[in-house]
Amino acid sequence: MSHRVPSLKRYHAGWHRAARYVAQRMVLRPVVRTVTRTTVEGLDNLDGLDEAYVVVANHCSHLDTAVLVTSLPKTVTKHLAVGAAADYFFSRWYMKAATSLFFNTYPIHRTSGGKRTGKGLSQRLLGEGVPLLIFPEGTRSRDGAMKRFKPGAATLCVAKSVPCVPVALLGTYEAMPVGRNWPVPGRPRVRMLVGRPMRPRPGEKARDFNDRVAARVETMLAMQTPYVLGDTRPGREVGDNQQEEAS
């Protein structure tokens, strides 16, 4: 017997967008602002982005997703679906319900075994115009250093001809490393750098595009600016960040 194909109605439902807005902006955002000093740079790089796309970021803390969904513009987060490990976040009904409410999650299977009712959801969501947030490393870094990107997100961009938005997160590992269930005291500083959208080149293979995206995130982390590699706009100097305080 074949598995039932999951419905995507929730990802378009107005009631879920409204509930998610309350959860993210009125509940989660004040918490993130209280326990961290989060700043956001490069939001102007998202200007004019009105199609389906894939947001990717380095991943070293459970704080990462909370920072992203509470700091990205509402025009992004009102539709954004977050890929989450099926074996962890979908293993218990209450965890599935909570992550669905706060992060609009959908399951990503990290192993080949077990029931895979969510297979192909990423492509289906993109095909229906729903932007995605994916952590290409597949799991959190145990030491804060960015690990090799798996090609899944890049493959989606190539297959569906959609742009990729690279994001670099600084300070989340120090704020809440693996093993902690709450950020460290003292409101540690966290920075989110939003880079210019990248598109697959004509005929570019997914693995090559993946390498370019990973290199962009690594460069933003190293240079600590979202404006790199000639991606500045006319009249803007490299490093001019127009920083926005998220508190």
* CATH code for the domain of 109: 3.40.1130.10
Helix axes 63-71, 93-103, angle to 10 degrees: 30
DSSP reduced 3-state for 108: strand
Look at residue 247 in the predicted model and tell me its pLDDT.
38
Would residue 1 count as lying in a domain? Answer: no
Would you write out the chain's pLDDT as a tens digit for each of its 247 residues?
Answer: 445 556 899 999 999 999 999 999 999 999 999 999 999 999 999 999 988 999 999 999 999 999 999 999 999 999 999 998 777 667 787 788 889 999 999 988 766 544 444 458 999 999 999 999 999 999 999 999 999 999 999 999 999 999 999 999 999 999 999 999 999 999 999 999 999 999 999 999 999 999 999 999 999 999 999 998 655 443 343 334 444 444 3
235 in a structural domain: no
State the total domains in the chain: 1
Give me the pLDDT at residue 97, please.
Answer: 87
pLDDT of residue 243: 42
Dihedrals φ, ψ of 169, to 5°? -110, 125
**Structural domain boundaries, residue 214:** 9-179+191-229
- pTM for the model stands at 0.87
pLDDT at 96: 85
Does residue 239 fall inside a structural domain? no
Residue 245 domain-assigned (yes or no):
no
Contact 167, 65 (CB under 8 A): no
Evaluate whether 83 touches 122 at the Cβ level (below 8 Å): yes
For residues 170 and 97, give the distance between their C-alpha atoms in angstroms, rounded to a whole number. Answer: 29
Could you tell me if 192 and 40 are in contact, meaning their C-beta atoms sit under 8 angstroms apart?
yes
In a domain, 4, yes or no: no
Closest CA to 46 of 172, 161, 193, 151: 193
Q: Give me the pLDDT at residue 245, please.
A: 41
Is residue 246 included in any domain, yes or no? no
